[in-house]
Amino acid sequence: MIEFNVLVVDDEDDFREVTTKRLTKRGLKVWDAAGGAKALEVIEETRIDVVLLDVKMPGMDGIETLRHIRSLKPLIEVVLLTGHASVDSGIEGMKLGAFDYLMKPIELEPLLEKLMDAYEKKRLREQKIEMAQMKKHMSMPS
């Protein structure tokens, strides 16, 4: 199991706690936040790789939170999660660059797989950026 850092954002305490516990058990490092504002604090302070984000939350909703995450930390991958949001929030989320969209309730295995895919994408992108930077430095006359 590859270890990476996940942030679970959901206002439903039951769901958030159970998910956090299960993902931790499977070897991920998991942070959690009960709302969008708190989530933004966490990603400012911590090196989060993937955010699992509930779309429908009181206060700052998932879509708004996603927008902030994209501008603050564009490399973080976001997987959206919903039980009962309006249908077009899904597309809205994809347009804002969410990695994918999951429907609640969700089993652990597919969730884990989706999070790993998201992390893989982030890793590849970082690698590419690194390579490009290296190339740039190498080609510069010293």
Partner 1 sequence: MHRLLSFLKKRILPEQEPQLSEAELQDAFRRRYSLFRSLLTANNNALQAMADLEKIYYSGESYRMAVVRARITTILVNVYKMVRNLLVMSDGRYQELEGIFEKISQQLEKVIEKKPDPPQGEYIQTLAETRGKDRQLVGEKMANLAEIARLPGINVPAGFILTAAATRHFLTADHFAEINRRLQVLDPEDLDALYQGCAGIQALIDAATLPADLEERLLMHYSRLEKATAPGVRVALRSSALGEDSGTISFAGLYHSELNVDREGLVYAYKKVIAGKYGANAVAYRRRRGYRHEDIEMCVGCMVMVDAAVSGVVYSRDPGDARREVLRINCAAGAGKGVVDGTNLVDLFLVDRQSPYAVVHRELRQMSGGPVVAAADPPPSHLLPPTLSDGQLRQLAETALRLEEFFGWPQDIEWSYDGEGKLHILQSRPLQIALADLVAEEEPSPATPPSGEPPLIQGGVCASRGTACGRVFRVDSLDSMRRFPLGAVLLLSQPLPEWAPLLNRAVALVAEQGSEAGHLATVSREFGLPAIFGLAGAMEQLADGEEVTVDATATAVYRGRREDLLHRATGKRDIMAGSPVQKLLAEAMVLITPLNLTDPAASQFKPSWCETLHDITRFCHEKSVSAMFSFGEQFHFDKSRAKRLVGDVPLEWWVINLADGFAATAQDGAKAIHINDIVSVPMLAIWQGISAYSWQGPPAVSVRGFGSIIFQSAMRPELDPAVASNLTTKNYFLISKNFCNLSVRLGYHYAMIEAFLSDLLTENYITFRFKGGAADHNRRAVRTRLLADVLERHDFEIELKGDTLLARIKKRPADFLAERLQVLGYLTLHTRQLDMVMDQPAMVAQYRNRFNREIETMLGRTPPGEVDDGTRGKSSAG
- The residue ranges that bind partner 1 (CB under 8 A) are 56, 82-88, 90-91, 94-95, 101, 103-105
Give the shortest CB-87-to-partner 1 separation in angstroms.
Answer: 5
Q: How far apart are CA 142 and CA 138, in angstroms?
A: 9
- Residue among 40 and 53 whose Cβ is closer to partner 1: 53
CA-wise closest residue to 67 among 44, 46, 41, 36: 36
- Residue among 40 and 115 whose Cβ is closer to partner 1: 115
- Residue among 42 and 96 whose Cβ is closer to partner 1: 96
Give the shortest CB-45-to-partner 1 separation in angstroms.
Answer: 31
Query: Which tokens is 4 given?
Result: 């990476």
Give the shortest CB-70-to-partner 1 separation in angstroms.
Answer: 16
- Residue among 31 and 101 whose Cβ is closer to partner 1: 101
3-state class (DSSP) for residue 75 = coil
3-state class (DSSP) for residue 85 = coil
Give the shortest CB-47-to-partner 1 separation in angstroms.
Answer: 26
Q: How far apart are CA 5 and CA 92, in angstroms?
A: 25
- Residue among 75 and 91 whose Cβ is closer to partner 1: 91
3-state class (DSSP) for residue 86 = coil
Q: Look up residue 18 and give its amino acid.
A: V
Q: How far apart are CA 77 and CA 50, in angstroms?
A: 5
Give the shortest CB-101-to-partner 1 separation in angstroms.
Answer: 5
